[in-house]
Chains A and B, each alone.
Chain A
Amino acid sequence: MRIAVSVKQIPDPANPGRLDPDTNALVRDEKLILDESDSYGVEMALQMAEATGGEVVVVSMAPNEEFGGLRTALAMGADRAILVSDEALAGSDALGTAKVLAAAMRRAEPDLILTATESTDGYTGTVPAQVAELLDLPSVTFAKSVSLGDGEVTVQRQTETGYDEVVCPLPAVLSVTAGVVEPRYPSFKGIMAAKNKPADRLGIADLGIEAGEVGWAGARQEIVEVAPVPAREAGEVVTDDGSGHERIVAFLEELKIL
């Protein structure tokens, strides 16, 4: 069984970047890392591959041939990587990204595609459904538990009030929530092995995608304004000297909650 995991490489969230005042593009001047949200999908794929003797392919679209996040996934144990990097992709929105990922997935011919429910820096949460639709595949988003059956998966899908149990034939796209499995740390051996694992580096021409479909042009939207939000005024902060709870009670009384 071949499992493809889409992994986004993002700036370290501890340093979220800034908007370029001239172009309103997100400026990322440091090395990119594996989005933690995608580490759950990587772990789940590894567990499934270990159980079935399958293969894990990690797929990413990123600027400037960035490979750091893919290398982390390879070090965790993924077998090979596909990286799509192309100047024409700058400014791509979720649909443009989904078109590229779908084309890359088509090349990988996976039995199962895993994504996160949303990326840490983009959080549109639409890429998984867009990829599924472009590939004409069923999808189960917000999977909080997945068990692999014969040619199908059984998924607990998060709902407002609990979960739905969903049976989905393969191939399919699943978006998995954080906490669904415990991602492993790359071992030293894994880190060394990652250096020699195969990586396909592609541009959009290799995928048969035209420049106009992706990037700024393909996004067909424009940022008309970027405005700071007035900060919420911080209130009073007191140190508990054994009477902190009384302050809370008094505050609730003032608000007529009590």
Chain B
Amino acid sequence: MGVGTVWVHVEPTPGGVASISLELLAAARRFGERVEAVCAGGDRDALSAAVGEHGASVLRYLELPDEALVGPPLAASLAAAVAGSDDPPAAILAATTYDGRDVAGRLSARLDVPVITNVTELAVSDGALVGIEPIFGGTTNVHTRFSAGGGPQVFLIRPKSFQATPTGGPPAQPAELPAVDCGASGAARVVGRHAEESTGPKLDEAAVVVSGGRGLGEAGKYEMIEQVAGLLKGAAGASRAIVDAGWVPYSQQVGQTGKVVKPDVYIACGISGATQHLVGMKNSRNIVAVNKDPEAPIFGVADLGIVGDVHKVLPRLIEALQSRS
């Protein structure tokens, strides 16, 4: 069933588009009669090819100075485009990412429309989109829709909720998003960009993710996690407890405020399984947990649970894996 035109906020990466943006395009295609991508900055040709291949007919593009943050100028420009359009979008989708939240939040304030957040599934009821949002650590789903009338229905979608699927479409038609002066709100300047060195597959794309938590005892022991991850050609993740403690960078955090992962196998070592951690990994296809506490909540979602000491199980596991390779 169609709900009209859907705009999808897509996020550029160097030379392409973020995988989460392709997930959003897949979500939009299920309900939109017409799917258009909106974007600030990035490689325009690469973007239009990538979003076209995933079903967007148009790429509305805002030129963005290198030093600008995305949120204020894109929200201002989108608000103006919605107001000035003959075919205003019925819905706008953005992702629960750093920039996605800025864009949705500022756009909502500009247009005076609410945002339905933390959406992991969409449905249609009476011609309106319904956002489905997990609460209480994913044990309950709340279905919310906007009351009739007002501006576009704005949704913030969590990563890994939809499967990106190419349609093989042609490059999206280019369209300008005219820049709008966003005044004081646009005054912050990016003066440097720092990427952490990472080897191996990316955390949110790896087939195997091995994560460590406070049960490792000390920062130096995280090396065991990296070793197991390396031997399984996977990525190493972490609970927030050890990110906050400074043992590993934030970019490796799995959970509500970190990355959402959905690998073939997730191996949790010394992680209790707090609800905020579970929402980031419990849709993994298979879950293995090692924890010395038989009552740890992580065992409630594990396919294989080992009640044991990480300092004993992991060194033996490393040895066993090394002897195979």
Contacts and interface: CB of A to CB of B under 8 A. Distances in A.
Interface of A: 16, 19, 24, 93-95, 98, 117-118, 123-130, 132-134, 136-142, 144, 154, 157-169, 172, 177-179, 219-229, 231-232, 234-240, 242, 244-249, 251-252, 255, 257-258
Contacts of A179: 240, 243-246
Given A249-B320, A251-B304, A157 B102 contact: no
B251 interface: yes
Interface string B113-129: 11111100000010000
Contact of A98 (B109, B208, B243, B249): B109
B89 to A, nearest CB: 17
Q: Which residue of B105, B113, B316 has the most chain A CB atoms within 10 A of its CB atom?
A: B105
Contacts of B300: 231-232, 234
B312 A129 contact: no
Given A95-B113, A118-B256, A257-B265, 12 more contacts: A125-B117, A138-B187, A159-B193, A162-B249, A165-B191, A166-B189, A179-B244, A179-B246, A225-B143, A240-B290, A245-B316, A255-B265
Contact of A165 (B185, B194, B267, B290): B194
Contacts of A248: 267, 288, 290, 304, 306, 313, 317
B177 interface: no
A124 B16 CA distance: 28
Contacts of A125: 96, 101, 105, 117, 156
Contacts of A129: 71, 101-102, 104-106, 109
Interface stretch (B2-10, B30-38, B132-140): B132-140
Secondary structure at the B interface, as helix, strand, loop or mixed, is mixed
B294 interface: yes
B250 interface: yes
Given A220-B146, A244-B313, A245-B317, A94 B117 contact: yes
B192 to A, nearest CB: 4
Contacts of B294: 237, 239
Nearest to A256: B264
Interface in B241-270: 243-246, 249-251, 256-257, 264-265, 267
Nearest to A236: B304
Contacts of B179: none
Interface of B: 18, 69, 71-72, 75, 96-98, 101-102, 104-106, 108-110, 112-118, 125, 130, 134, 136, 138-147, 150, 156, 183-196, 198, 207-208, 232, 240, 243-246, 249-251, 256-257, 264-265, 267, 282, 286-288, 290, 294, 299-309, 312-314, 316-317, 320-321, 324
B185 to A, nearest CB: 5
A124 B72 CA distance: 18
Candidate in A133, A139, A157 with the most chain B CB atoms within 10 angstroms: A133
Contacts of B145: 221-222, 224
B171 to A, nearest CB: 25
Given A133-B75, A163-B194, A165-B190, A246 B320 contact: yes
B194 A237 contact: no
A207 B287 CA distance: 51
**Most chain B CB atoms below 10 A, which of A161, A227, A228:** A161
B142 A223 contact: yes
A161 B264 contact: no
Contacts of A168: 187-189
Given A118-B257, A235-B304, A252-B265, A133 B96 contact: no
Contact of B190 (A128, A166, A226, A240): A166
26 contacts: A94-B115, A94-B117, A117-B257, A118-B256, A118-B257, A124-B117, A125-B105, A130-B108, A138-B187, A140-B188, A141-B101, A157-B98, A158-B98, A168-B187, A224-B144, A227-B141, A229-B139, A238-B306, A239-B306, A242-B316, A244-B306, A244-B316, A245-B314, A247-B304, A248-B288, A248-B290
Given A162-B195, A257-B208, A130 B141 contact: no
Contact of A240 (B105, B125, B187, B306): B306
Contacts of A118: 256-257
Contacts of B288: 248, 251
A239 to B, nearest CB: 4
Contacts of B117: 94, 123-126
A93 B115 CA distance: 9
Nearest to B196: A162
Given A95-B114, A126-B117, A138-B186, A249 B317 contact: yes
